[in-house]
A and B are shown apart, each in its own frame.
Chain A
Amino acid sequence: MSPGIDLQASFIELLEGFGLTHGVAKAIWIPLPMLIIVGAVTVLALVSTWLERKVSAAAQQRIGPEYMGPFGLLVPVADVVKLLFKENISPVNTDPLLFAVAPLLVFIPIFLSFLIVPFGQNLVITDLNIGVFLWISLSSIAPIGLLMAGYSSNNKYSLLGGLRAAAQSISYEIPLALSVLAVVMMSNSLSTIEIVQQQADYGILSWNVWRQPIGFIIFWIAALAECERMPFDLPEAEEELVAGYQTEYSAVKFMLFYAGSYANLVLSALLVAVLYLGGWEFPIPVSLIAGWLGISESTPWLQVLTGSLGIVMTLFKAYLLLFVAILLRWTVPRVRIDQLLDLGWKFLLPVSLVNLLLTAGLKLAFPVAFGG
């Protein structure tokens, strides 16, 4: 396995070439990936709102946004501008402090979770040892924000929506964590980088989705529920609860919820890609192709190519999943709250436990195929 390009080292070397010390160069480097990722995530979330509009339109035989920029690509920009300039309303008798803090509590953990999403061998902000566990624990903060939003809005729809959201994300966190655990068991590590590397050997054949088909489906269902996507969008069910916990929100605070929900969707899709679909790996290992063509793996242009291919592959897989999520939105009707909890506790939880047990058994029986 080639280490690939080390952006940090080359960037620091470059700065040192300009006469800066190692320390200064490093200090300049530290905030860079974070800023890039924050910007990239915002763009990704905006793109997914555009995709949602376009795919929804196509599924309903409409055209969708067309006049704002080419193919309506500027619609998300218009959204952001509009929401930024709207009046920041807070209704009578709300709790001003909690009302303002709640969107932040939902928004920040989601953006923090992008810390561990790898786009390539070295294209990750921190290769944390606790990796996916960080994501699971951070995503458990969101219900507090939702409850806060529901409570502080002084509106019964909001409160009901907040309570539903909290109940939903608590119940679906367990199957989610259990299916992640099965993957972690196979790769012997919580780190996202190692999880991808463990799927790298035989291209598409070694991706986790073949070894963990049940886990893949459970994870995807639970992730959709965590994101409050269509079959599980009870917290903001328009027909019953106006807009759930977001009812009273407007302008920037609403934008935080909105951007947060789409960023969360992108995050979930990226993590499905990382955990089950081989992350940044090309279906045929690049090193194999290079071997056929007789190119050395340390050739600089090949490394650059591999790096950019990695980003493209990760995003491609993530957006493919996003596309499926949008199709599901227009296919599946909303479940009732009792059906939701039934599915979570009586179906997903036992099945994911069985899946975990099965993985453990297979790991002991066939340590070669299931990561000994």
Chain B
Amino acid sequence: MLKFLKQVSDYTKEAVQAAKYIGQGLSVTFDHMHRRPVTVQYPYEKLIPSERFRGRIHFEFDKCISCEVCVRVCPINLPVVDWEFNKETKKKKLNHYSIDFGVCIFCGNCVEYCPTNCLSMTEEYELATYDRHELNYDNVALGRLPYSVIHSDPMVQPIREFAYLPKGVLSGHDLPAGSRRAGKLPEDILAEMEASEAKK
């Protein structure tokens, strides 16, 4: 009998506890209701990509020396370097260069290893097309100026990312003009470093 009573009381306790937990969960959900939405209304508002964003790769035809380092460091040997050997100048002459962004994983190895810095990352990320073959960029397409969220379209409201907001601000909407991000800017850090170097 006592054992049975104990079971009943345990059962009741568990039921009450379950109800308590559900109540706690509900209060958490309810608390979320009056937080500001984090939504970025995409085609009208766009996030500014961060400094080290790895977007579409930019290629400068004239700088390239056709060394094929990019091909070798690429995990899948993606860049196509079409060159021929010019016997008179004894140099490689680049004819065509292309990267297929439908296959590229934007690891940035090619940019890292390019000896002449003819490859660079841009902040362009809107690569959607109707045909995947359109993603196979040739040297002309690779050499185009990248789309910029800030400058390209007056209809687009650029929004700062979380890490670039002033201290204590959680939303990139309606920032006062000239508000700086929290912490030091890279150029400040650089200037400080140079100053301390000079002191030594």
Do A and B touch (CB < 8 Å)?
A: yes
Q: How long is the Cα–Cα vector from A328 to B25 in the complex, in angstroms? A: 9
B22 adjacent to A55 (CB under 8 Å): no
Tell me whether A62 and B22 are in contact in the complex, defined as CB-CB below 8 angstroms, given that A55-B33, A330-B29, A347-B15 are known contacts: no
A61 adjacent to B25 (CB under 8 Å): no
Q: How long is the Cα–Cα vector from A57 to B26 in the complex, in angstroms? A: 15
B36 at interface, CB cutoff 8 A: yes
A328 adjacent to B26 (CB under 8 Å): yes
B22 adjacent to A61 (CB under 8 Å): no
B173-199 CB contacts (< 8 Å) to partner A: none
Majority SS at the chain B contact face: helix
B26 adjacent to A61 (CB under 8 Å): no
Chain B residues closer than 8 Å to A62, beta-carbon distance: 37-39
Q: Which residue of B lies closest to A60 (CB)?
A: B32
A353 at interface, CB cutoff 8 A: no
Total residues of chain B contacting the partner, CB 8 A: 16
Q: How long is the Cα–Cα vector from A324 to B36 in the complex, in angstroms? A: 20
B30 at interface, CB cutoff 8 A: yes
A61 adjacent to B36 (CB under 8 Å): yes
Chain A residues closer than 8 Å to B33, beta-carbon distance: 55, 58-59
A327 adjacent to B29 (CB under 8 Å): yes
A331 adjacent to B39 (CB under 8 Å): no
B22 adjacent to A331 (CB under 8 Å): yes
A319-356 CB contacts (< 8 Å) to partner B: 324, 327-328, 330-332, 347
Tell me the smallest distance from the CB of A71 to a CB of chain B, in Å.
Answer: 13
A63 at interface, CB cutoff 8 A: yes
> Which of B26, B34, B37 makes the CB contact (< 8 A) with A327?
B26
A331 adjacent to B26 (CB under 8 Å): yes
Tell me whether A57 and B37 are in contact in the complex, defined as CB-CB below 8 angstroms, given that A327-B30, A347-B15 are known contacts: yes
Q: How long is the Cα–Cα vector from A327 to B32 in the complex, in angstroms? A: 10
A331 adjacent to B29 (CB under 8 Å): yes
B35 at interface, CB cutoff 8 A: yes
**What 6 pairs across the A-B complex have the smallest Cβ distances?**
A331-B25, A58-B33, A331-B29, A63-B39, A63-B37, A61-B38
Q: Which residues of B contact A (CB under 8 A)?
A: 15, 22, 25-26, 28-30, 32-39, 41
